[in-house]
Each structure stands twice: as C-alpha cells, then as structure tokens.
C-alpha cells in the first residue's frame, strides 16, 4: 500500500471524529487515496454501498458540507488539488467523477450525479460552480412502443477548463460545455455549448461570443 492510502473498514457512529472525513459502509476493498490531504474538512462524509471503489483526494482540498456516495461497485471519484467541494457526489457501478485542480463549488445544493452504471462526469480545472445539478441519466427509462427499444439512454457530461456556472443551473446528459464559457443563472443545459461564450436560457444557448471572466472584480 502506498503512503496516504487507506483501505476502508466499516465505521460506526460512535467512532465519528470532529473535523475529519466520516466514512461509512461495508467491505475492505474500497480505497481512499489522500485521506490526509484535505486542508479543511467540515461536515464531510463518504459512504460505500459496494466494493472495489476508489476515492482520490488531492492536496489542499477544502471539503465543507460534502456527501459522497458510492452506490455500487468499481467506481472512481477523483478530486484534484486545491479544489473547494460542497454538495453531493454520487456514482453508480462502473462510473467516474473527475474534478480538475482548483475547481470550486460554492453551494451545498450542488449535485454531481452519475445516475446509471458506466457513466462519467468530467469537470475541468479552475471552474467555478454554484448550485449546479449534473445528471447523466433521466432516472427512468422511456421505450419506443413499436421496437421496444429504449430511447433515452444515459450519456456522459464534460465541462472543460475555466467554466463558470451560476446558481440553479441544470446540466443534463450528453453535453459538453466549452472552455472559458459562462452559463447564467437558472439556465438548463440540454445541448453542448461552445467555448468562450456567455450562455443563458432554457434551453441554454450562446448570446455572446468572445468573452472571458474573472473570479473577482478588479
């Protein structure tokens, strides 16, 4: 076992320690890599409901009001260095969530949900995300009557580097949001959006090209 890697055993409520990552679940084949890496941990928990899952935590991460759920087997959640994480991260079997270095979630209402097995949500570096909901699945199957084939399969989501997504935005399956773009509050992203654009609406669309944004006013 490498340094700072932990095999997870069941943790009972009585063993809970303040200012530490609370771990619950079964099995000793689930792994947390970098368990000692976070700079700040407050009200953060991870629960394993399967086996052979891996949580990777980069150096200098802030985890406040975080709920991580592995609802199945053989999945990976990777949080890059210097990220600020709030909200819920949820994966089904064979799924992956990857969050790039320096990305910030600013709301405990944020939800990153791989809702079906074998799907992924990849969020790039230096993104700024408010109360955003990501979903790779519609959560219920819809079928064609004539062919009996499913017509709403799950699909992956990609958010490229340096994207700002404002509050109460929904990002649905199969979309890519291009690098450097801004998605305005209360938008619904149903189709891919280009990079370097200001995008708003339901469905979200580009209303201005050739923009860039900064985290703070000058």
- Give the CATH number of the domain where residue 75 resides: 2.160.10.10
Quote the number of domains for the chain. 1
Full residue range of the structural domain in which residue 34 is found: 5-209
Q: What is the pLDDT of residue 2?
A: 47
In a domain, 215, yes or no: no
| Phi, psi angles (nearest 5°) of residue 15 | -90, 0
The dihedrals phi and psi of 13, each to the nearest 5 degrees, come to: -55, -35
Q: Is residue 217 part of a domain?
A: no
- Establish if 124 belongs to a structural domain: yes
pLDDT band at 6 (very low <50, low <70, confident <90, very high): low
The 10s digit of each residue's pLDDT in 158-188 is 999 999 999 999 999 999 999 999 999 999 9
Q: What is the mean pLDDT of the chain?
A: 92
Token pair of 74 as six digits: 């053989």
Task: Answer for the pair 51, 28: CB distance below 8 angstroms, yes or no.
Answer: no
Count CB atoms within 10 A of the CB of residue 215: 8
> Residue 134 pLDDT > 90, yes or no?
yes
Q: What is the pLDDT of residue 14?
A: 37
Residue 138 burial (CB count, 10 A): 14
Q: What is the pLDDT of residues 38-93, one digit of tens each?
A: 999 999 999 999 999 999 999 999 999 999 999 999 999 999 999 999 999 999 99
**pTM metric for this prediction:** 0.90
Reduced to 3 states (helix: H, G, I; strand: E, B; else coil), residue 121 is strand
pLDDT in tens, 82-124: 999 999 999 999 999 999 999 999 999 999 999 999 999 999 9
Count how many Cα atoms sit within 13 Å of the Cα of residue 140 in the half-sphere of its side chain. Answer: 1
């Amino acid at each position: 076992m490498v340094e700072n890697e932990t095999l997870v055993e069941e943790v009972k409520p009585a063993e809970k320690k303040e200012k530490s990552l609370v771990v619950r679940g079964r099995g000793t084949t689930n792994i947390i890599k970098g368990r000692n890496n976070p700079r700040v941990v407050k009200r953060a928990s991870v629960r394993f409901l399967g086996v052979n899952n891996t949580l990777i935590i980069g150096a200098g991460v802030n985890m406040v009001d975080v709920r991580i759920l592995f609802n199945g087997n053989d999945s990976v959640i990777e949080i890059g260095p210097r990220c600020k994480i709030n909200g819920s991260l949820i994966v089904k079997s064979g799924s992956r969530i990857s969050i790039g270095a320096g990305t910030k979630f600013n709301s405990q209402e944020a939800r990153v949900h791989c809702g079906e097995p074998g799907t992924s949500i990849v969020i790039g570096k230096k993104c700024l995300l408010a109360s955003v909901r990501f979903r790779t699945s519609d959560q219920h199957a819809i079928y064609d009557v004539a062919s009996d084939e499913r017509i709403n399969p799950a699909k992956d989501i990609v958010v490229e580097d340096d994207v700002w997504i404002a509050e109460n935005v929904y990002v649905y399956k199969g979309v890519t949001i291009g690098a450097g773009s801004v998605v305005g509050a209360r938008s619904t992203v149903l189709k891919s959006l280009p990079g370097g654009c200001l995008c708003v609406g339901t469905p979200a669309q580009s209303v201005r090209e050739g923009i860039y944004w900064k985290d703070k006013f000058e």
